[in-house]
Amino acid sequence: MTGIVFRNARLLTLDDDDREYASADVRVEGALITRIAPRLPLAEADRTIDATGKLLMPGLINGHFHSPGNFNKGALDDMPLELFMLYEVPPFECPPTPPRLHYLRTLLGAAQMLQGGVTAVHDDPFYVPSLSEELTDATIEAYANSGLRATVSINMPNVVEYEKYPYLHDLLPEQLRQKMRDSTPPTTEQLIGAYRSYIARWHGACDGRLRAAVSCSAPQRVERDYLRRLAELSGEYDLPYNMHILETRLQRVLGQERFGRSLVRYVHDEGVLNERAHVIHSIWVDEDDMDLLAASGCSIAHNPLCNLKLGSGIMPFRALKDRGVNICLGSDEMCSDDSVNMWSVMKAGGLVHKITEPDYDRWPKAQEMLECATRNAAKAMRLEGVTGQIAVGMQADLILLDLDTFSFTPLNDLRRQLVFCENGSSLRMAMVAGEIVMENGKLSKLDEAELRAEIRAEWSEYQRQFAAVDHWARTLEPIYRAMYARTVREEVPMARKLSYSEFPAGD
């Protein structure tokens, strides 16, 4: 193996020194970047790629994703998270998803991400109606076969449905409460056993391209002993610990109603908020919450398009970043974004905070969005020093973009145009761990037409499952709507809206 050499590329490294080269050569040997220089001496290579007029940069990283939503893009109308989740994780039994169908829908998302310049994903899949080794293997086998770098958890709550929400127990008729109690969740011992088996089979597979994470889904969705045991497992293997926290206003109310404190304070008090914690959303946080998050060293996955789709609110980006919190970007699932386009996510992240921050000096910059979608996400996934930037010794997770496109014509500012003009159409190549996995729109490890055809052939099986889910969602929707309406009437100590009183006075 003599490697691959990119010649004459415009190079955006996003490394520790944020180096940029007007023209440079990059040598890749095996999975690693081995040399970077304005001009490397001619040497034998398996392939030399003329990158004149093109930009070489780190691949984008999707810092938060749920692959089981991949078949539901465009399927659901507008509704808040608490009603939306009736379709994601229904509280009652529904037809199981066959492993092959689970494999196909995971592969569908992986294929779309690779075509869009995403070279790594942090996936937090949930398993409905029950967990099995066949399903977890189907998920990660899809990533193994796609060529995408993936860190994958097992998202499996283990409390009765009505314990996850405020007021729901009292609003439900006894018949439905009993039905929820009858849907027995797995025990802590069962779930920890499943995790240990999963980690033994898959953590570090494909020469480290595949890694495990742990997930409580959200702290209010699991038993306290499971919350703590997952933290122990995270520490034992140095795994990211996924936890959705204060995504919605309702969850702010739940914290006070069930725990007598915010959910951030709860996980802090339980000793599970630390540098491995991968906190997802973090919208309805107050000043004390933000101080705790910053002190813990955790990372936060910001999902601006999902937050807009579900009306969850706008995360206090600048307040968190000013405290030194590591923030990455995620698309969340396809049914709450209806896409998996990280270019759109970066653009939304760079724009949405302008409507809640009147001080324009504090608006997010393009450079910050690029870092959130690359090096910050690598840090959140415990892959700092492995991927997320272009530097000697790093994994060669790279993308090549054509600068002779409308997105960059005329070229005024490279970074601003990457975030606010590019949509993925300029992408010409993607490489993961030194292997070219997409070139000129074509995936090298997958037959796209065959994948689409098989999904369509199996579609009736998925529709059968979805019909059962839809039945129970419609049955429960009036009750969950009443719960949601009641929480709206509760006071919370913050509002995610513009207040010009916060604008600093001029001279």
Sorted by sequence, the CB contacts under 8 Å of residue 345 that are 6+ apart come out as: 303, 304, 305, 329, 330, 331, 337, 373
pLDDT class of 296 with cuts at 50, 70, 90: very high
Amino acid identity of residue 203, one-letter, is: H
pLDDT at 447: 96
pLDDT for 495 beyond 90 = no
Q: What is the pLDDT of residue 1?
A: 53
Tens of pLDDT, residue by residue over 252-283, are: 999 999 999 999 999 999 999 999 999 999 99
- Taking alpha carbons only, the member of 113, 139, 71, 123 closest to residue 452 is 71
Question: Would the pLDDT of 335 be above 90?
Answer: no
**Mean pLDDT across the chain:** 94
Burial of 485 (0-12, 13-18, 19+ CB in 10 A): exposed
Beta-carbon-side half-sphere exposure of residue 32 (alpha carbons within 13 Å) = 9
In this structure, are residues 138 and 113 in contact, taking their beta carbons and an 8 Å threshold? no
Confidence of residue 452 (pLDDT cuts 50, 70, 90): very high
Q: 58 versus 339: which is more confidently predicted?
A: 58
pLDDT for 184:
86
CB 160 within 8 A of CB 220: no
- Tell me what percent of the chain is helix, strand and coil, each rounded to the nearest 5: 45, 20, 40
Q: Which tokens in the block code for residue 467?
A: 């019909």
Q: What does the pLDDT read at residue 97? A: 87
Please state whether the predicted TM-score (pTM) of the whole model is above 0.85: yes
In this predicted structure, the answer to whether residue 242 has a pLDDT above a threshold of 80 is yes
DSSP characters over 57-79 = EEPEEEEEE-GGGGGGTTTS-S-
Confidence of residue 2 (pLDDT cuts 50, 70, 90): confident
pLDDT digits (tens, 9 = 90+) for 203-234: 999 999 999 999 999 999 999 999 999 999 99
Please give the domain boundaries of the chain with CATH numbers for all domains.
4-52 (2.30.40.10), 58-387+444-452 (3.20.20.140)
| DSSP tally for the chain: helices H, then strands E | 18, 18
Report the C-alpha gap between 342 and 365 in whole angstroms. 16
Confidence of residue 496 (pLDDT cuts 50, 70, 90): low
- Assign 77 a pLDDT band (cuts: 50, 70, 90): confident
| 351 to 4, 116, 196, 337, 416: CA distances (angstroms) | 38, 21, 42, 16, 12
Instruction: Tell me the pLDDT band of 479, cut-offs 50, 70 and 90.
Output: very high
pLDDT at 368 (0 to 100): 98
* Percentage with pLDDT > 90 across the chain: 86
Calculate mean pLDDT across residues 63-75.
94
Query: Tell me: the pLDDT tens digits for 394-441?
Result: 999 999 999 999 999 999 999 999 999 999 999 999 999 999 999 999
